[in-house]
A = this chain, B = another copy of it.
Amino acid sequence: MPIVHITRRERFSAAHRLRREDWSEERNAEVFGKCANPNWHGHNYELWVTVKGEQRPETSFVVDLSELSRIIKERVIQHVDHKNLDLDVAFMKGRYSSTENLAIAIWEQLAEPIAALGCSLHGVKVQETENNYVEYHGA
């Protein structure tokens, strides 16, 4: 059976900042620039989740997109949308809220429930602004 990839986009709006508490204000500003602003800033994040697998004979779907969307919302969006990534999100605890860490954490939230659907998570893409995005394909 041929392997097909299918991608679902979801969106969330969140606050965050990049700063290390064990660094001086100067060091934070030097390394993280304007992202270190103590009073936070924020983004409209776009999230693309790509799943791969064989088609199910009954429907010709790799995955039911409404099931996939429900999982992404339950495991990711409701935890991060209109939240503070550094204060409000259990799955980001202990990690700086870089786009890299966010993509990895989202992968960890999604890999297992997507496998339980009979297909597999292929990639997570997190776009922070129109000029930069991160992709993660698992360890």
Contacts and interface: CB of A to CB of B under 8 A. Distances in A.
Per assembly, the copies of the chain total 6
A31 interface: yes
A104 B44 contact: no
Nearest to A81: B34
Q: How large is the interface on A (under 10, 10 to 19, 20 to 34, 35 or more residues)?
A: 35 or more
Contacts of A6: 99-100, 132-135
A32 B82 CA distance: 11
A64 B32 CA distance: 9
A60 interface: yes
Given A9-B131, A9-B132, A34-B82, A100 B62 contact: yes
Interface of A: 2-11, 13-16, 18, 31-35, 37, 39-44, 50, 55, 58-62, 64-66, 81-84, 87-88, 95-96, 98-101, 103-104, 129-139
Given A4-B135, A37-B83, 8 more contacts: A7-B135, A31-B64, A37-B84, A39-B87, A41-B84, A50-B135, A61-B98, A65-B132
